[in-house]
Structure 1
């Protein structure tokens, strides 16, 4: 646990705020506070929104720390999923990626040690190209912090392919609503959040207009180790199935 720095303590003293600002240091689930709060501010948001355990932490804070009509910042977090065509880095981006690897080391090692994303697995990327999407993104999860927080969920999605495309996996990105009007989109904007690229097939599947991809999602975020089970069924426009793949994203 990082300790409060001397400069932070000094600043509070210099501003004569010792009576107004009280620091409780520790994991939120391990501490107690004396008064109920009006606002909860947090940033425990993963590249899949719930992946860093924010739902458990926020739910605990709602039960123990907050007044009934408390405000939440952020207000909402939507994780989206979209099928994509194979991703490859241009020579220029490979060079940039090499230097990023030197600077950031293991933060993006998945991206760095497989220039052409050749093996089925999860990769982390910055600024995934929107042109690689082959269908409109849909909601993978939708968390409104002021509402009841669901920790286990099953849902089914269907993506319709509108033109000839190559399909090899999915991306996951977030729309983070700071309030009811201000949204951060980690796909279209440059942010510190990564886009997760789950490559399912070593050889991409060729899809035609009218084909579709059905996705069954089982989401369990009831523990500190969230788990997401994904089953993708790829069908021709006549309904015949020609590919099926399951993947567990942890």
Structure 2
């Protein structure tokens, strides 16, 4: 019998396997909503750009609506299958599939409509805002249309003892005589996905943000907002959820609000440190801060509970700030040594020196990642980083290999293992390193990176 052979599949290919697209295609509410919206937005003879075409579904809908030409942009290898589907359905003469990131793509003509389904469970974590801002400025005709055309994010407090009892509370007790509370710290910084029915919602939702997606779109990289909730009855608080509401056209909207039922998107759950018994009259303050880049979204949150007289009875703040696209995993067996936090911050700043980011943007980024950093500490960190590159220019630039090494050492916090750091490096530099190459590079350069960090 012939020996069975295996080969490594890069992470991107694993994510693009057909079963994930089958799940999306099976969501009739999602698909029919986009189909109806495209029928309404696209006119016969229109030129259309489809951002993140995936299986090609929205591009096919655009052709069915009468589009003369569709430029379907997709980074992942799924685009090859979308091309085959288009040819099989005799739609390929009107669709040009382009593999790449939309920021780097040029098209030969301006579009009447820009469409895309770049909505994560939180709405914003698939970078829809910077992507649509760029597309509106470079791809769209004056007065052109975008779909979706509005995106809102809402927050609601919830009571869910199940998540705590299953994922958080087990780490509070010793197991086999060993204290595993490090895992408790990790779990409390993890964002969970799940469907929360109305019975678990203990307050009316509040609007956190709303963005109009058109040619005037101007998003802020940092969003920092505090919401206030009043408790009108005794109840239990376990955390809060966030969800989106997107207007595809003026008459068609789609949402993953709890009342919408279970579909392709769950709600995003933000835990707090423990289950809390609330009394009538308590006031809950929820502060959420997002930092959005072209490649990721970093989030931190803080929940404060006060009695009617204003006295604070509980104050919880997240401390690890994981990127939304990378859930916290268990610590692996190969863990690099921990280095001084100040040197890690300097290394993080140096890892961002790609010639496109200013000192002021770096200040905002550091404050978004950790609101507790003082202004003096941030200024000193930036001074040392700029001194290292021998310039005080607005946007210094380092080689990719240097930035990667600095990014490696910036994650030597005693919590992440090499596998986790490798995935972060590959996410930051997907065109440069395969996942296995990133891990090998990290393993080969741990001592070098630690030495560099100490000498920064």
Instruction: Bin the TM-score by the shorter chain.
Output: 0.7 to 0.9
Q: Larger Rg: 1 or 2?
A: 2
Return the TM-score normalized by structure 1.
0.80
Does the C-alpha gap of structure 1 residues 83 and 249 become closer, same or farther in structure 2, counting only changes over 3 Å?
farther
Aligned partners of 1:230 and 1:249 also within 8 Å: no
Offset from partner CA, 1:207-231 (integer Å, 9 cap, x none) = 1111111122322113422112212
Cα distance between partner residues in 2 of 1:198 and 1:156: 15
Q: What is residue 174 of structure 1 aligned with on the other side?
A: 244
Matched, 1:191 2:259: no
Aligned partners of 2:131 and 2:294 also within 8 Å: no
Secondary structure at the aligned position of 2:135 is classed as helix
Shift of 1:41: 0.6
Cα distance between partner residues in 2 of 1:120 and 1:154: 21
Cα distance between partner residues in 1 of 2:263 and 2:248: 14
Map of 1:108-187 to 2, 5 A cutoff? 115=166, 118=169, 120-146=188-214, 147-186=217-256, 187=258
Shift of 1:39: 0.7
Secondary structure at the aligned position of 1:23 is classed as strand
Matched, 1:80 2:157: no
Matched, 1:232 2:309: no
Aligned partners of 1:163 and 1:209 also within 8 Å: yes
Shift of 1:121: 4.2
Cα distance between partner residues in 2 of 1:117 and 1:178: 38
RMSD between aligned alpha carbons?
2.3
Cα distance between partner residues in 1 of 2:148 and 2:100: 21
Shift of 1:117: 5.3
Secondary structure at the aligned position of 1:8 is classed as helix
Aligned partners of 1:124 and 1:194 also within 8 Å: no
Does the C-alpha gap of structure 1 residues 41 and 239 become closer, same or farther in structure 2, counting only changes over 3 Å?
same
Q: What is residue 108 of structure 1 aligned with on the other side?
A: none
For structure 1, the 5+ residue unaligned runs are 90-110
User: Which protein, 1 or 2, shows the higher relative CO under an 8 Å CA cutoff with sep ≥ 6?
Assistant: 1
Return the TM-score normalized by structure 2.
0.45
For structure 2, the 5+ residue unaligned runs are 1-75, 170-186, 324-456
| Count of residue correspondences | 223
Q: What is residue 206 of structure 1 aligned with on the other side?
A: 277
Shift of 1:4: 2.8
Cα distance between partner residues in 2 of 1:153 and 1:213: 20
Shift of 1:177: 1.8
Q: What is residue 288 of structure 2 aligned with on the other side?
A: 217
Match of residue 110, structure 2, among 23, 36, 39? 36
Shift of 1:24: 2.6
Aligned partners of 1:212 and 1:237 also within 8 Å: yes
Aligned partners of 1:78 and 1:141 also within 8 Å: yes
Secondary structure at the aligned position of 1:10 is classed as helix
